[in-house]
Amino acid sequence: MLLGLLAIVLGCSPNSPQKTAADDTPLEFKLPFPTGTNYSVLQGNQSPPTHFGLHVYAYDFDMPERSVVTAAATGRVVEVTDQSTVGGYDPKFVWATNMIVLDHGDARFSIYGHLQQLSATVKPGDVVVAGQALALSGRTGMVTQPHLHFEVVDRLLQSIGICFVDFGGGLRGPRAAEFCESGPVPARMKRFRGDSNLPRDVFARNGIRLLSDLPGYSFRDGDEVHVVGQVEGVAARVCFQIFPRPGGERLAAYYGDVRKDGRFDFTFTLAKPTATWELNPSAYAFNVVRVNEGVPLSPATSTFLCIYPRADASATH
């Protein structure tokens, strides 16, 4: 029922997430365990003590340790943490959750929490199909008992109400104490819909249009980031800047020159901004802004678009 912070880059937009042009069908999910197995729900949507706020649409499945956890939809693996060996009902275990996160495209991510140590059978970058085994369930992190915490979130970490295609219990899926038996994977769920890149106009309010794909999720220390875009108006440089969630002092800044035609194209390698702060597993936010000589980068000149939806974003859950 309790997960730590999630490793998510917050691509912040005033707009709703861009749809994949090739696919207008709604994303479907299946129960996250193998066909023919069944578990009941310990804690469902909108239920105490922790499935509120960001986690209002989370599920805790009553899975004994070492039960097989499967992908709820076809997607790309963007996060695997399975080194933790500890868990218990104490805030000190919040950061000790083993988890896997899948990107299903259209800014939809599924999260599988409290997994067994060293049980992941997938790695970041892998594309998995719905129903494919991911790892074994466990009791790592802040938990009262072994279970699988499952939720689907958007890129702002807000959980999303979903239906399970293999559960007949209604629009919002099972509630607490309901019993769920996983069915077969429908053939239509097997196609990968593509990664959740940021909408190209995500920084439009900053006078910047992206011309290349930027992932909406999970940059890591050491990752190379390539940013191509076009500025409106006059700017000497652009700045890619990173903030802690939910805002606050800028942690890192990377600059690129703007050409005469307003284009910019630069590459940088993400490094730890401080010795104690890590991109992963901390969630963070970033934006790209225009910079002119002599104009200091301050909140007044660098509009920070990300408004984190909940003040309790970093609270335990």
Contact residues: Zn ion, CB under 5 A: 1, 58, 60, 149
- Minimal distance, residue 107 CB to Zn ion, in Å: 21
- Minimal distance, residue 111 CB to Zn ion, in Å: 10
Nearer to Zn ion, 153 or 238 (CB): 153
- Minimal distance, residue 209 CB to Zn ion, in Å: 39
Nearer to Zn ion, 141 or 246 (CB): 141
Nearer to Zn ion, 79 or 106 (CB): 79
- Minimal distance, residue 60 CB to Zn ion, in Å: 4
Within 10 angstroms of residue 234's Cβ, the number of other Cβ atoms is 10
**What does the alpha-carbon distance between residue 210 and residue 200 come to, in Å, rounded to a whole number?**
5
Nearest to 64 by CA among 29, 114, 3, 112: 114
Nearest to 252 by CA among 233, 234, 225, 229: 225
Nearer to Zn ion, 149 or 193 (CB): 149
Q: How far is CA 17 from the centre of its chain?
A: 13
Nearer to Zn ion, 113 or 246 (CB): 113
Nearer to Zn ion, 58 or 77 (CB): 58
Nearer to Zn ion, 60 or 82 (CB): 60
> The tokens of 2 are what?
């309790």
- Minimal distance, residue 50 CB to Zn ion, in Å: 6
- Minimal distance, residue 301 CB to Zn ion, in Å: 41
- Minimal distance, residue 28 CB to Zn ion, in Å: 22
Within 10 angstroms of residue 255's Cβ, the number of other Cβ atoms is 15
Whole-Å CA distances, 117 to 87, 136, 140, 195, 280: 11, 8, 8, 27, 18
